[in-house]
Amino acid sequence: MAWKSSVIMQMGRFLLLVILFLPREMTSSVLTVNGKTENYILDTTPGSQASLICAVQNHTREEELLWYREEGRVDLKSGNKINSSSVCVSSISENDNGISFTCRLGRDQSVSISVVLNVTFPPLLSGNDFQTVEEGSNVKLVCNVKANPQAQMMWYKNSSLLDLEKSRHQIQQTSESFQLSITKVEKSDNGTYSCIAKSSLKTESLDFHLIVKALHEG
């Protein structure tokens, strides 16, 4: 009985050694991008370019890599797919802010690492800068704004901070616009309204010229 127990124990040890030293198909490969092992944010500016190099760590065989820009697959040359793969993001613009690039393991796409672009730029303002309205009508001045970091927004009239009248003035702000609505326009509303955007990078302004015509004017 003791002999059988000893044989069983030896067989168990042998099987354990076999399991330990078998080639592990499911090796926990780790992906890195530019040497980083976790998702990260890449700070950049318009007009620059970024090189992203994805590599497989702890691999026991050749591993195919895939790159995605947001949800879209990036076309890679045949020599730029195995164990190491790079993409070059050139001519970065303000529109690339928040865009993600993800490197995935071909045989197990749950193994991945992502880089999000943080494109910093001063405020960019646009809008219909000349409007003519009749007395008593309503008007809306829409200042389109893009900025990163986000800008502090203000309305000025004739070079002074606009004195808001609760009954007639309403301000609305979204991530992409800063709007001034004036109800029942009066002659005194005539003038130049300035949309001011102040960020840590720069302060920008855009003038809106409002001409109020009397009802009898042609």
Domains plus CATH for the chain? 14-119 (2.60.40.10), 122-213 (2.60.40.10)
Q: Which of the four pLDDT bands, split at 50, 70 and 90, describes residue 11? A: low
Tell me how far apart the alpha carbons of residues 169 and 209 are, in angstroms, rounded to a whole number: 17
**Once rounded to an integer, what is the mean pLDDT over residues 48-62?**
93
When the pLDDT of each residue in the chain is averaged and rounded to a whole number, the result is 88
Q: What is the pTM of this model?
A: 0.77
Distance CA 206, CA 196 (A): 7
Report pLDDT for 16: 40
Question: What span, in angstroms and rounded, lies between the C-alpha atoms of 36 and 9?
Answer: 45
pLDDT exceeds 90 at position 18: no
Structure tokens at 43: 């700070």
Kindly give, in sequence order, each residue whose CB lies less than 8 Å from that of residue 124, ignoring residues fewer than 6 positions away: 94, 145, 146, 147, 204
| Residue 139 one-letter amino acid | V
Question: With contact defined as beta carbons under 8 Å apart, do 143 and 195 qualify?
Answer: yes
- Which tokens go with 200? 């840590």
19 pLDDT more than 60: no
Burial (CB count <10 Å: 0-12, 13-18, 19+), residue 90: exposed
Average pLDDT over residues 99-115: 96
Share of residues in the chain with pLDDT > 90 (%): 79
Any idea which residue has 């070059």 for tokens? Answer: 88
| Digit-coded pLDDT (tens) for 74-86 | 999 999 999 999 9
Backbone angles phi, psi at 27, to 5 degrees: -50, 135
Map 107-135 to HEC letters: CEEEEEEEEEEEECEEEEEECCCEEEEEC
Lowest mean pLDDT: which of 3-12, 70-79, 115-124?
3-12
Give the pLDDT confidence of 175-186 residue by residue, as tens digits.
Answer: 899 999 999 999
**Tokens representing 170?**
């309403």
Both tokens assigned to 117: 């672009």
- CA-to-CA distance for 20 and 31, rounded, in angstroms? 24
The pLDDT confidence band at residue 155, using thresholds 50, 70 and 90, is: very high
Q: From CA 190, how far away is CA 210, in angstroms rounded?
A: 6
